[in-house]
Structure 1
Amino acid sequence: MSERIGAPGSGISRRDFVKASGLGGTLALAGCTAPGSPKESVGTATNANAASSDLPTTSPPEVVDVDERGGEVTLSSVPARHDAHPGDSMGGPVELPQVWAFKADDGNPSVPGPILRTTEGEDMEVTLDNTDGMRPHTIHFHAVSKKWEDDGVPTTTGVRVDPGDSHTYTIPADVPGTHLYHCHYQTHRHIDMGMYGIFRVDPKGYEPADKEYFMTLKEWDSRLNRQMAGMDATYNPRNRNPDTFTINGKSAPHTLHPEQGSPVIVEQGDTVRIHMVNAGYMDHPMHIHNHRYQVTHKDGGEIPDVARHEQDVCSVPPAGRRTIEFTADADPGIYLMHCHKVNHAMNGTAYPGGMVTGLVYKEAMGTDIFKQLMEYAGYEG
């Protein structure tokens, strides 16, 4: 169990969260339906549970400090069940009966995969262990300059990691910034089954913000996941019709779950830095209520000061990365952060849901509305 609360990153301590929120005990109210939100399930959750009962359930993505592991990490893929929002509030449950989840070493499988973090100038030895796998895989790392055979594309390098095999990629950390990694074998299917994650290279002398978080955006057509689970579904990538929208693998209101979701938890006066990555195939304009921010980095490149400006929405294209920075200087409260394609902020026909999370001031955690949001999110204390 993590000792930090909130989205992957710095967060606040569990002790501080309990002290600020007063939610140390069990709420025993999880599963309430939000006012105005019809109680309807996305997909076929009952059949999904039956089809995937023998699979492990994914965990939230962990931040893996590769430097602390001597520059080495092993990734493998595990079939798993993924609960984007397991509760029945706000159009839930939202479930993907089968995903192919990455895990690092002996960690838990997660969607997105583990956040691999290293430092500029270091090399990573990333071993793709497919000895227990069921299908071929590869790993492709964006941005960094690597040797040809380490590019992760089987058709152009001749390197494919078949079931029963493993392969080690040497990945130089020579481009500071926030990047994407993913399987590049049958890419259109394997990314949509969950084989993606964030690769972060901290520049030399990096100074973190007071609060720093990672967010991976993704839309899903659950027909593929149901088809791969052996259910009665037919999927055509040429006729992709997303029905599930997630931040760090979760759909609202489960995005607000302090342990499994990705609330951005701040204190008045904090400097806040959020690294956003789009692992999907659609553009996602991300908006934060009541705050203005600057986009400081784009696709691993630093934006000069003279080119920056204050804004409250920025689009993150497929495979794109954006780092935003702002000061938590608003009236302490709870503010939405969401994709402004409003149909992406839904679970089925229920609104709100989907690609929505919250910017939560620690000072607002003791309020009744925060406790109500925790009920919707399924947090039981």
Structure 2
Amino acid sequence: MYMMFFGSSVLLLVAMAVLWSIYPFRRGRWLLWINVVLFVGWCLVTFIAARSIGWEFVRQIFGMLMPMVFSPFVLLFLFAKRVNWMRIVKRYAVIVSWLAVFMIVFQIPAFPTFATYVLCFGVPILFFFLLYVWEKWLAGKWKRGWIAFGSVILVVAFIFGSLLMNATALNASGDDMVMDWGGGKDSGMKSELDVTKLAGPKETAVTERFQFTAATKKMKVPDGSTKELWLFNGQMTGPAIHVKQGDVVEVTLTNENIKDGVTIHWHGYDVPNAEDGVPDISQKAVAIGESYTYRFKADTVGTFWYHSHSQSSEQVGHGLFGSLIVDPKTKPDDELDMVAFVAPKYIDNDGALISSDEWPKQLLKDTKIRLRLTNAHNKPQKIVLNGVPFKVAAIDGNEVNQPTNVEGKYVQIPAGGRVDLTFVMPNNAVRIFDAKDESGGWVFQSERKSAAPSKEIPDEAFQRESYGTKMNSGLDVSKGFDREFTMVFDSKLAFFDGMVHHLWTINGKLYPNTPMLMVSEGDLVKTTFVNRSYSHHPMHLHGHKMLVLTRNGKATTGSPWWTDTLNIAPGETYEVAFKADNPGIWMDHCHNLDHATNGMMMHLQYDNVYTPFSGHTHE
């Protein structure tokens, strides 16, 4: 609905601007009346959107632009019988209508600044004054052609200057960053704990050791072409870390030739802060020729993954990632584990499934299969399993209570998210594929070979919020929260590196000026996500698991929905809760890693923790 409102608003305002541009040269009330109809249509679209998704999603666009868009009608009515003033109003209508188009496309943020108010309310008044000056004193002295040419140059310079100004925010020092205490007690910074002291177990406790070397390597990718990839131990995907609950894991990382440095982040695994792998927060990036050792206890069962967090948009995209699987101490022997990734866009833009293992393409009937899927792509992916009913056994490493069979639905995995699908091999072929992958994914045949299942993509999506059986979540939210935060996602355009880019904002700010969420250990925290942009934002909180409370105002009704990577689609609102029980300074960012690079990240900081590093991670 939000995209309908935004797209309709842009189209209606452009149509009005075109008609206002014709109006000074073509006499006819029909042009004026068409614009009246378009304006009423815009008001109606806004009303429908506000009723459907809430005033929060439309208030800034409509509230800031409506006076500007409506003002030509008012002025035409006031000066209907004064010829000289009518000429001014017609020219004014052309200028402000295109200014409104510019503002809705480029400049209306979720949290307007003083400059935004000046653009929406001050600039139209200034233009009207300048048009009056021109009509009264300059119209007979300057040729209209030069006036028109100068006006075009002025508008282009205004737009280009705005785009350049937006780009400067990415190079900010972070001095404008504010500490958000979420309505709770401002306890001040105690600075008692250095993040480097929040480390994993000692070396003597290690039970599983791994050696990783990060280096470049040319190899074939799924489409058959050869590309230079950046890999751990020369493998695509990286070496699988498959351990049992209770193991103490040690991974020593050596950087052979990755020029910007490399780290390892344990995505979804709540390790101590010093082991989190975020450069300039919990460690320095591992430079060429250097090594770094991570240690943590594998106390949580499930499907997780690891990846570099230094220049992660580029490094994950080039292949620096792998799987982390923690089995329970006693695991069923008759279940076949399959681990796969949706490839990142540089390796395969169509979402091919890749794995470090070779799986048999023929399976015995009644074989129990657990398919562990991780999305390493930047965008949410539709996963389709045709030919057999299946269960969604776990999401982001968290088991679903009493899952039921799913048929005729696709499962959407957010960027960075994981899903475990379980099924029993039938006496016919089964196909698992990404909806964008035209190659058709993987086909598994039974003993009785049959025609491969179709590549048909179901229309209906699997709905997590109502799936499984309700049970005690283990997190008591009945007595309220110690802190409550709201994060509103939006976008704007900027010009840098020779082209126009999208920047992605949180509460109107770009990193490093995004707010710092401040908590004390033991706090019960609620966060509200509001997506006012036109893109999906899979928000990933390091070091903690979030319990989803509501989606678009409706409470979840199924098995408790625990997650570390939550996809917020355009126009959606989520409420989540978590316990602040893992001290440190933790990233909270969009896992469309291009979005994180262009501003959409922030930190969650405990009030008694500090970092000896720069404090601003370089993404």
TM-score range, shorter chain: 0.5 to 0.7
Match of 1:247 in 2: 353
Tell me the number of residue pairs that the alignment of Structure 1 and Structure 2 aligns: 246
Would you say the 8 A contact 1:221–1:244 is kept in 2? no
Deviations 1:54-104 (A, max 9, x none): xxxxxxxxxxxxxxx94110111121123124xxxxxxx53242001111x
Which of 327, 331, 336 in structure 2 is aligned with 1:206? 331
**More divergent stretch after superposition (211-220 vs 191-200):** 211-220
Distance 2:273 2:333 in 1: 33
Which of 362, 376, 383 in structure 2 is aligned with 1:286? 383
Query: Which amino acid is the alignment partner of residue 238 of structure 2?
Result: G
Query: Which amino acid is the alignment partner of residue 306 of structure 2?
Result: Y
Which of 330, 339, 343 in structure 1 is aligned with 2:434? 339
Match of 1:183 in 2: 308
Would you say the 8 A contact 2:340–2:355 is kept in 1? no
Within 5 Å, which residues of 2 pair with 1:31-50? none
Match of 2:266 in 1: 141
Would you say the 8 A contact 2:379–2:414 is kept in 1? yes
Query: Which amino acid is the alignment partner of residue 369 of structure 2?
Result: V
Deviations 1:245-286 (A, max 9, x none): 321169xxxxxxxxx865654211111111111111111221
Q: TM-score, with normalisation over the residues of structure 2?
A: 0.37
Distance 2:335 2:395 in 1: 21
Tell me the secondary structure at the aligned position of residue 326 of structure 2: strand
Distance 1:171 1:150 in 2: 7
Distance 1:84 1:174 in 2: 35
Within 5 Å, which residues of 2 pair with 1:8-157? 70-85=207-222, 94-103=224-233, 109-130=234-255, 134-157=259-282
Query: Which amino acid is the alignment partner of residue 80 of structure 1?
Result: K
Find out whether 1:310 has 2:406 as its counterpart. yes
Distance 1:289 1:195 in 2: 31
Distance 2:358 2:329 in 1: 30
Deviations 1:5-62 (A, max 9, x none): xxxxxxxxxxxxxxxxxxxxxxxxxxxxxxxxxxxxxxxxxxxxxxxxxxxxxxxxxx
Tell me the secondary structure at the aligned position of residue 77 of structure 1: strand
Would you say the 8 A contact 1:181–1:197 is kept in 2? yes
Would you say the 8 A contact 2:221–2:227 is kept in 1? no
Distance 1:249 1:122 in 2: 24
Query: Which amino acid is the alignment partner of residue 229 of structure 2?
Result: V
Tell me the secondary structure at the aligned position of residue 314 of structure 1: strand
Find out whether 1:215 has 2:340 as its counterpart. yes
Change (3 A) 1:317 1:133: closer
Instruction: Quote the offset at 1:363 in angstroms.
Output: 3.9
Distance 1:218 1:362 in 2: 30
Tell me the secondary structure at the aligned position of residue 313 of structure 2: helix
Larger radius of gyration: 2
Distance 2:413 2:326 in 1: 19
Runs of 5+ in structure 2 lacking a partner? 1-205, 453-619
Distance 2:333 2:284 in 1: 37
Would you say the 8 A contact 1:220–1:244 is kept in 2? yes
Distance 1:76 1:163 in 2: 11
Distance 2:329 2:392 in 1: 20
Match of 2:441 in 1: 356
Tell me the secondary structure at the aligned position of residue 154 of structure 1: coil
Distance 1:131 1:281 in 2: 26
Change (3 A) 1:310 1:264: farther
Q: Cα RMSD over matched residues?
A: 2.5
Would you say the 8 A contact 2:214–2:256 is kept in 1? no
Distance 1:220 1:309 in 2: 31
Q: TM-score, with normalisation over the residues of structure 1?
A: 0.59
Runs of 5+ in structure 1 lacking a partner? 1-68, 86-92, 104-108, 223-241, 251-259, 347-352, 371-381
Distance 1:362 1:167 in 2: 48
Instruction: Quote the offset at 1:300 in angstroms.
Output: 0.9
Instruction: Quote the offset at 1:188 in angstroms.
Output: 0.6
Aligned-residue sequence identity (percent) comes to 20
Instruction: Quote the offset at 1:360 in angstroms.
Output: 2.1
Deviations 1:323-356 (A, max 9, x none): 1111112x33x3321112xxx223xxxxxx2x61
Task: Indicate the structure with greater helix content.
Answer: 2
Instruction: Quote the offset at 1:167 in angstroms.
Output: 0.5
Instruction: Quote the offset at 1:150 in angstroms.
Output: 0.8
Change (3 A) 1:291 1:122: same
Query: Which amino acid is the alignment partner of residue 294 of structure 1?
Result: K
Change (3 A) 1:98 1:288: same
Distance 1:324 1:249 in 2: 16
Distance 1:249 1:287 in 2: 17
Distance 2:374 2:362 in 1: 19
Distance 1:158 1:70 in 2: 24
Instruction: Quote the offset at 1:298 in angstroms.
Output: 0.7
Match of 1:197 in 2: 322
Would you say the 8 A contact 1:117–1:201 is kept in 2? yes
Distance 2:272 2:232 in 1: 23
Change (3 A) 1:218 1:198: same
Distance 1:167 1:295 in 2: 37
Distance 1:265 1:273 in 2: 16
Distance 1:163 1:95 in 2: 28
**More divergent stretch after superposition (355-364 vs 195-204):** 355-364
Match of 2:416 in 1: 319
Change (3 A) 1:338 1:282: same
Would you say the 8 A contact 1:137–1:162 is kept in 2? yes
